[in-house]
Structure formats: structure tokens, C-alpha cells
């Protein structure tokens, strides 16, 4: 069982280790992660949501953010495009996909087809949400601990 505060101690080429109640546990190689955010008219919250993902301590080369927009008319698309244009090499890849079906289930399917197996873990995030800096590390450690 993981302690309430998970500390990822090693995110290097040799993999991920985390501290549990019984000491350090090595769980293997760094996992590829995709965070999918279905959106429709989320201009008031999407910046905070994406910025919380850009501040993650998870390795940027192993994380990508996929926004699947259902035809926003409130400036959401422009806001996301601005965040994409301003993203540096030290941040995860941000992608914006179109969801002509508008609804979340279609957004999920579009993201899954786009990923085509390129992620070990896929998280869906509500555009109104924001997460702490170690969110992805903690979730990956939780899932790898369950699989062990």
C-alpha cells in the first residue's frame, strides 16, 4: 500500500521508483502517458487546466496532452492554440483535435484513434479541473503498485 504522500525518487532511463510504507520500490521503465481533455466552450477554465498539466514533474517526453474540442464558439480553441504556440521544449506535447460529434464519448474515441496504442496509460481530465504538480507520477505509481 502506498503512503499518502508518494515520492517519485528516480525518473531516469532505468525507470521509476517510488517510496512506499515498506521503502523504495522499483516499478520499471517510464510509462508513456496521454491526458485527454474533451472540451466545448471551456474558455474560462481551460488555461488553468492545461497549465496544471504543464507543471507536472513527470518527464515531458513521456507525456502528451490531447484536447478534443467539440466546436467551441467562446474562444476555447484560440486559447488552446495560444498555449500550444507558447509551449516550450521543456513541456509536454499539446495537441488539439476536432470533435464534430461534440459529445465526450466521441471525444474519447477520437483521442484513442489518434493515439493508436502510443500510450501506456490514458487519463481523461475534465476541462474544469486542475491537478497538483505530482498528479501523474502519483497515479502511475498507484496503478503500477496495483499491477504488481
Q: What is the mean pLDDT of residues 88-110?
A: 96
Confidence check: pLDDT of 31 > 60: yes
- Domain locations in the chain as residue ranges: 31-134
Task: Report the share of the chain in percent with pLDDT over 90.
Answer: 72
Enter the pTM of the model. Answer: 0.81
Residue 142 to residues 25, 27, 105, 146, Cα–Cα distance (Å): 12, 11, 25, 6
From CA 102, how far away is CA 60, in angstroms rounded? 29
Confidence check: pLDDT of 71 > 60: yes
From CA 4, how far away is CA 6, in angstroms rounded? 6
CATH architecture group of domain 31-134 = Alpha-Beta Complex (3.90)
Q: What is the mean pLDDT of residues 72-85?
A: 98
Most distant CA pair in the chain, distance: 51
Amino acid at each position: 500500500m502506498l503512503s499518502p504522500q508518494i515520492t517519485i525518487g528516480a525518473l531516469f532511463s532505468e525507470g521509476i521508483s517510488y517510496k512506499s510504507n515498506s521503502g523504495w520500490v522499483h516499478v520499471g521503465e517510464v510509462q508513456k502517458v496521454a491526458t485527454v481533455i474533451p472540451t466545448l466552450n471551456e474558455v474560462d477554465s481551460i488555461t488553468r487546466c492545461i497549465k496544471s498539466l504543464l507543471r507536472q514533474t513527470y518527464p515531458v517526453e513521456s507525456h502528451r496532452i490531447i484536447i478534443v474540442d467539440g466546436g467551441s464558439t467562446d474562444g476555447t480553441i484560440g486559447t488552446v492554440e495560444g498555449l500550444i504556440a507558447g509551449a516550450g521544449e521543456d513541456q509536454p506535447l499539446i495537441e488539439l483535435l476536432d470533435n464534430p460529434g461534440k459529445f465526450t464519448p466521441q471525444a474519447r474515441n477520437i483521442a484513442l484513434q489518434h493515439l493508436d496504442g502510443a500510450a501506456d496509460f490514458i487519463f481523461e481530465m475534465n476541462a474544469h479541473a486542475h491537478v497538483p504538480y505530482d498528479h501523474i507520477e502519483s497515479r502511475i505509481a498507484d496503478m503500477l503498485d496495483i499491477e504488481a
